[in-house]
């Protein structure tokens, strides 16, 4: 659905004395039905990439298309759902009027528009804020309003830029549920986020950007299937541990918490043996997700 082919973007000032390379030779294809993540440190080029996909910026070189059309061409015909990183809605509009306006702009017939606005208000928990002006909303409520306006129309392309920024844990979980509900074979969802855990849970693939370059695209489904480093915690120390996990290293000198490594199948077999020996395991979890490992490898520890 979305194709970026060798896209570069260079920002230059008026006198062309200063150049900032925001994106360099960036190529990626995002298919219909896919939930695609974009990760990267600040200034990596995530927002520039989204602006190019939305047609708000022209690439300095290369080509961006949506369904084979120029982005503005596609958007002006079909519209897209978009949650901006910094939700910008005129501060004097009320929550309800903002949604009604966006429904009108989305060209929804008035009967449907009213129902969609009510549905968005209800599903994003904005009932008690419907008459409040945007400037009176808290950061979390403003973010929910941003989500509500994005979900007014049934778009085939949905773009979320830092969607859980400012949301509390309850609404962060609700957002994850919403993304699951939005998944459709005909729909493409793009999520740009600093939150690797969120990307790992929600997306099929994640593009890792650093300094304007695509470092790698990681399949995030089936995370940790290949194993890696894990943290094993026992209820009490047992001598059998070293029999099954000879490489186990105590974490910070603790006698019940260990760092272990291996493939997921191997680790399962050894864990079964340890449990059969009578050990009581209180937790066993990955020390770093695969995405996190890939991210660190791609952008370095400072990312």
Partner 1 sequence: MSRFPLRYLPWMLRDLLLSQGLVLLTIGVLGALILSRITPAPLPSDAAPMVLGAVRQMSWPFILFCVASIVSADRLQGYYRTTFVRPVNPSAYYLSRFLLGGLMVGLLAPVMTAAMAIAVGPIPLSWSMIARLEMLYLLLGGAVFLASTLTRADWLFAILVFIVQSVLHGLSQNHVVLPAFWNFIAMILPPFHLTSLDQPMPPGPQLAHVLLYGLGFVLAALAVLRWRPLGSGGRS
| 66: contact with partner 1 by CB under 8 A | no
Residues contacting 42, CB < 8 A, separation 6+: none
- Provide the mask over 81-120, with x wherever binding to partner 1 is found by CB under 8 A and - wherever it is not: xx-xxxxxxx---------xxx-xxxxx-x--x-------
Provide the β-strand partners of residue 259. Answer: 231, 249
The conformation of residue 79, written as its DSSP 8-state character, comes to -
What does the alpha-carbon distance between residue 121 and residue 124 come to, in Å, rounded to a whole number? 5
| 76: contact with partner 1 by CB under 8 A | yes
| 194: contact with partner 1 by CB under 8 A | no
- Residue 38 near residue 227, CB atoms below 8 Å: no
> Which of the stretches 78-86, 125-133, 175-183, 231-239 binds partner 1 when contact is defined by CB under 8 A?
78-86
CB of 77 to partner 1, least distance (A): 6
CB-nearer residue toward partner 1: 60 or 223: 60
CB of 183 to partner 1, least distance (A): 20
CB of 213 to partner 1, least distance (A): 15
- Residue 240 near residue 234, CB atoms below 8 Å: no
Token pair for 113? 């528009």
The conformation of residue 156, written as its DSSP 8-state character, comes to S
Count of CA atoms in the C-beta half-sphere (13 A) of 78? 17
- Residue 192 near residue 46, CB atoms below 8 Å: yes
| 143: contact with partner 1 by CB under 8 A | no
| 298: contact with partner 1 by CB under 8 A | no
What does the alpha-carbon distance between residue 62 and residue 253 come to, in Å, rounded to a whole number? 54
CB-nearer residue toward partner 1: 82 or 258: 82
| 47: contact with partner 1 by CB under 8 A | yes
> Which of the stretches 60-68, 79-87, 272-280, 292-300 binds partner 1 when contact is defined by CB under 8 A?
79-87
Which positions from 148 through 177 interact with partner 1, judged by CB under 8 A? 149, 153
Q: Which residue has the tokens 């979320």?
A: 160
> Three-state SS for 158?
strand
| Binding region for partner 1 (CB under 8 A) | 11, 22, 45-51, 54-58, 75-82, 84-90, 100-102, 104-108, 110, 113, 146, 149, 153
């Amino acid at each position: 659905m979305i194709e970026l082919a060798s896209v570069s973007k260079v920002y230059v000032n008026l006198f062309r004395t200063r150049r900032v390379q925001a994106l360099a030779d960036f190529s990626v294809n995002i298919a219909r039905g896919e939930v695609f993540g974009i990760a990267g440190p600040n200034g990596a080029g995530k927002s520039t990439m989204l602006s190019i996909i939305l047609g708000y910026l022209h690439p300095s070189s290369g080509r961006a298309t949506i369904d084979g059309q120029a982005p503005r061409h596609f958007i002006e015909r079909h519209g897209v759902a978009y949650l901006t990183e910094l939700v910008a809605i005129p501060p004097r509009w009320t929550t309800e009027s903002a949604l009604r306006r966006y429904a009108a702009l989305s060209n929804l017939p008035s009967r449907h528009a009213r129902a969609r606005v009510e549905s968005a208000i209800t599903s994003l928990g904005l009932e008690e804020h419907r008459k409040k002006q945007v400037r009176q909303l808290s950061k979390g409520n403003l973010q929910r309003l941003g989500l509500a306006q994005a979900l007014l129309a049934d778009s085939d392309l949905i773009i979320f830029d830092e969607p859980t920024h400012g949301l509390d844990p309850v609404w962060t979980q609700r957002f994850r549920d919403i993304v699951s509900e939005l998944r459709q074979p005909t729909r493409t969802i793009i999520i740009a986020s600093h939150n690797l855990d969120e990307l790992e849970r929600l997306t099929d693939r994640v593009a890792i950007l650093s300094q304007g370059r695509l470092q790698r695209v990681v399949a995030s489904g089936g995370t940790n299937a290949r194993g890696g480093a894990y943290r094993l915690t026992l209820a009490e120390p047992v001598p059998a541990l070293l029999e099954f996990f000879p490489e186990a290293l105590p974490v910070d000198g603790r006698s019940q918490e260990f760092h272990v490594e291996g493939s997921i199948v191997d680790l399962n077999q050894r864990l079964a043996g340890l449990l059969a020996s009578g050990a009581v395991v209180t937790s066993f979890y990955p020390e770093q997700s695969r995405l996190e490992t890939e991210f660190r490898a791609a952008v370095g520890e400072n990312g």
